[in-house]
Amino acid sequence: MEKIEHIGIAVKSLKDATAIYETLLGCASYKTEEVISEHVLTAFFKIGDSKIELLEASSRQSAIATFIEKRGEGIHHIAFAVDNILEEMARLKAEGFTLLNEVPKIGADNKMVCFVHPKSANGVLIELCQEIK
Ligand code: ZN
């Protein structure tokens, strides 16, 4: 894996949270995007080489809605940039990690993504992401 690409934060209101993070980070969100397949609205901030992704559920089927119901707002996942997502998925699977999707999905911010079950990683949801070129 190359680096932490972004940290995902589950929020109740993207609008309210965006205002807070714009003040906190001293910069404007560079992108908002709806990921229909994941039922989320996202806003991205760039801080040096890393990003912050705010996530609001766009429907009750969203994993973000379930997360907030159970645990409240907060850090939802850590995403690592990978060069070859298929190779990393195969490597992690061979090492015994549980992948939440068997084939890469199209995620936010022009990425192919795969999630690793939090039970495999000490309670932290891990996202692998590879930039679509
Ligand atoms: Zn993410």
- Report how far ligand 1's centroid is from the alpha carbon of 64 (Å): 11
- Report how far ligand 1's centroid is from the alpha carbon of 91 (Å): 20
Cα 133 to Cα 121: distance, rounded to the nearest angstrom? 29
pTM: 0.93
- Report how far ligand 1's centroid is from the alpha carbon of 116 (Å): 12
Q: What pLDDT shows up at residue 107?
A: 87
- Report how far ligand 1's centroid is from the alpha carbon of 5 (Å): 8
CA dihedral 83, 130, 43, 6 (to 10 degrees): -30
- Report how far ligand 1's centroid is from the alpha carbon of 42 (Å): 9
Q: From first to last of its 133 residues, what are the pLDDT tens digits of the chain?
A: 999 999 999 999 999 999 999 999 999 999 999 998 889 999 999 999 999 999 999 999 999 999 999 999 999 999 999 999 999 999 999 999 999 999 999 988 889 999 999 999 999 999 999 999 8
